[in-house]
Amino acid sequence: MRKLSYLLCIMVLFSLISCGNKEENKEAETKTETAQTEGAKKYKIGITQIVSHPALDQSREGFKDALKEAGLDVEYDEQNAQGDITIANTIANKFVTDKVDLIFSIATPTTQAAVNATGSIPIVFTAVTDPEAAGLIKPNVTGSSDRVDNVAEQLDVLKELNPNATTIGVLYNSSEQNSVTQVELIKKVAAEKGIKVEEQAVTAVSELTQALDNLLSKADALYIPTDNLVVSNMPVVVERANAAKKIVIATDEGSVTNGALYTKGIDFYELGKEAGKLAAQILKDGKSPSDLEIVTLKPTNLVFNKKTMEAIGVTLPEKLKNEVKFVD
């Protein structure tokens, strides 16, 4: 009888241990499955870009690289508005209908379209000069701005290259708030330095040639802001300016690669990367866009185009040689 009781006790004990192990195993399996589910979360991001040109393309790649480095699994829906506001609005509304997790808007017009389309989906922008003036300060919006106070430095370089320069021509799209803000700043700084500004506004590509010829007949150099219509047609600008032996000052390195003489601007790849870091904080860390400050960058190297230097007969002063980076 005692042996039987002893055996029963042992059996009950083993049964309890076995149940405990099963429960622990189930709990461990549940945790593992949950972790795997969380790790496998795939985010859908809609990218809306106003037009293609090197600066904006670089910012897009920087954004995507930042999210890759953050370890996020992302499916992108990449759209280009081809410079058309109506298309930009259609793209933004499509993203809302598709219920994307986040909208990445490149440039002011596409960001305005996104803001008009949704007040709930997080929006991260880049290549926006003046978010406040463009009406982009909203609870669901943050991003990286290409605003940089480098006009004085840019004009100082012009004076080193051409001490007799007294007038600059500024070509821009008057329908882009981004550009209007920059033109006002250029005019202000130029006036402080005793340089006259001739401005020419355009609203379509078809107006560029005549506007360029008009400016080049009056100005010693052209100053091109980060205007998407003009920058996306930089080869046209450079061709006309080179023929007239006039300097073209750019605001991004991509434009120098496309033939502008020089810039002391910002790195748009890094600008896009900063936007990507903000997006990662929203998606991965659950941060609200309203809690994330808009990011700006400082100007990088002074960049010159060697071929353009030769084409218009510009010689680099000794004073600038140590700080210049060349592109062909």
Half-sphere exposure of residue 164: CA atoms within 13 angstroms, side-chain side: 2
Amino acid at 218: K
- pLDDT, tens digit, for every residue of 195-235? 999 999 999 999 999 999 999 999 999 999 999 999 999 99
- Domain assignment of residue 35, yes or no: no
Domain identity same for 172 and 94: no
pLDDT at 107: 97
Domain identity same for 61 and 129: yes
Mean pLDDT of the chain: 90
- Domain assignment of residue 133, yes or no: yes
- The closest of 127, 123, 68, 132 to 101, measured between CA atoms, is 123
C-alpha separations of 137 from 111, 179, 277 in Å: 11, 18, 19
pLDDT at 23: 47
- Domain assignment of residue 3, yes or no: no
Segment holding 61, helix H or strand E? helix 54-69
- Domain assignment of residue 289, yes or no: yes
Residues in a beta bridge with 296 = 145
Straight-line distance from the first to the last Cα atom of the chain, in angstroms, rounded to the nearest whole number: 99
pLDDT at 31: 40
Domain identity same for 258 and 283: no
Domain identity same for 305 and 194: yes
Domain identity same for 190 and 320: yes
- Domain assignment of residue 15, yes or no: no
Domain identity same for 210 and 308: yes
Instruction: pLDDT band for 26, please (50, 70, 90 cuts).
Output: very low
Instruction: pLDDT band for 18, please (50, 70, 90 cuts).
Output: very low
Overall number of domains in the chain: 2
pLDDT at 306: 96
Domain identity same for 291 and 235: no
Angle in degrees, CA 124, 58, 160, rounded to 5: 115
pLDDT at residue 162 is higher than 90: yes
Domain identity same for 204 and 320: yes
Q: Which two tokens stand for residue 83?
A: 């410079």
- pLDDT, tens digit, for every residue of 70-107? 999 999 999 999 999 999 999 999 999 999 999 999 99
State how beta strands 295-296 and 324-327 pair: unpaired
Instruction: Kindly state the average pLDDT of the residues 120-132.
Output: 97
148 vs 88, which has greater pLDDT?
88
Burial class (CB in 10 A: 0-12, 13-18, 19+), 271: buried
pLDDT at 25: 45
Domain identity same for 141 and 289: yes
Amino acid at 69: E
- Domain assignment of residue 28, yes or no: no
313 phi and psi, to 5 degrees?
75, 35
Full residue range of the structural domain in which residue 157 is found: 151-265+301-327
Please tell me the distance from the alpha carbon of residue 163 to that of residue 159, in angstroms, as a whole number. 5
Domain identity same for 323 and 284: no
Domain identity same for 93 and 239: no
pLDDT at residue 15 is higher than 70: no
- The closest of 173, 98, 106, 116 to 146, measured between CA atoms, is 106
Amino acid at 305: N
Buried b (16+ CB within 10 A) or exposed e, 164-180: ebeebbbbbbeebbbbb
* CATH number of the domain bearing residue 200: 3.40.50.2300
Measured in whole angstroms, how far is the alpha carbon of residue 319 from the centre of its chain? 32
pLDDT at residue 9 is higher than 80: no
222 phi and psi, to 5 degrees?
-105, 140
Instruction: Kindly state the average pLDDT of the residues 11-16.
Output: 44
Please tell me the distance from the alpha carbon of residue 44 to that of residue 23, in angstroms, as a whole number. 37
pTM of the predicted model as reported, rounded to 2 decimal places: 0.84
Please tell me the distance from the alpha carbon of residue 128 to that of residue 107, in angstroms, as a whole number. 5
Domain identity same for 68 and 210: no
- Domain assignment of residue 189, yes or no: yes
- The closest of 250, 249, 68 to 146, measured between CA atoms, is 250
